[in-house]
Amino acid sequence: MKNSRWLDYALTIIVLTILWYGASMLLGSQLLPDPLSVLRRLLHAVREEIFWEHTAVSAWRLIAALSLAFITAVPFGLVLGSNERLDRIFAPLIYLSYPIPKIVLLPIILMLFGLGDLGKIILISLIIFFQLLITTRDAVRSLDREVVYALQSLGGNRWHFYRHVVWPVALPGIFTSLRISTGTAVAVLFFVESISTSRGLGLYLIDAWGRADYTTMFVGIIALSAIGIVLYEAFDVMERRLCAWKNL
């Protein structure tokens, strides 16, 4: 199963590379560098310390933002999903604030938290906060009441309820939301790193674009995508291990 998964990835990369090469031939290498040129530039970039500085900063911001969103949104979602009264109280606030494009709050957040890492991390975490919150809450809502009654009949308390019933029920949905949020977080990271920063792959990419160095620009795109893929796969592996009961 694992070997088949990696084989699928390899075949997909080969197909995408062929399509990329064909598009480069049609559009011209000046506009769309061919894969071999980008690969040579990538191999040169990984030997440069500055490239790894950009990559490390971006990875840190992504991981910190996902962690912050997780520790704030998931507990809140577990409580709201299992408590109808609290859910009714907070539902209007969630429904009104969720559709607001959080990216427009960037100037305010940067004024409040500064131009450094903190402001960027808070903005990213704020955007994915609602994805995690709503997914967690809805997953808990699907809980069969008979399971709750069974736990109560066995003498289970509130801690047992959350630990052995609510948490396992919500966990698959949480991991699904984390994987989806990874793509959103990478997109937002690129945006915030193109403004008022001295390090990050977003800056690396925008700087190359401004210099019309499209080969280096694609190196930045690949590096940023690679971080997202690694995080996506990490959440997938964690789900398979922590939710192994789904396959029983």
- Alpha-carbon distance 111 to 74, whole Å? 27
Which one, of 112, 123, 110, 232, lies nearest residue 188 by Cα?
Answer: 123
Alpha-carbon 159 to chain mean position? 30
Q: Work out the percent of the chain whose per-residue pLDDT is above 70.
A: 90
Give φ, ψ of 156 to 5 degrees.
Answer: -70, 140
pLDDT in tens, 52-111: 999 999 999 999 999 999 999 999 998 998 888 888 998 888 888 888 888 888 888 888
113 and 122 in contact (C-beta within 8 Å)?
Answer: yes
150 and 200 in contact (C-beta within 8 Å)?
Answer: no
Q: At what angle do helices 117-141 and 106-113 cross, to 10 degrees?
A: 120
Q: Return the pLDDT at 65.
A: 95
Check: pTM over 0.75? Answer yes or no: yes
Supply the mean pLDDT for the chain.
86
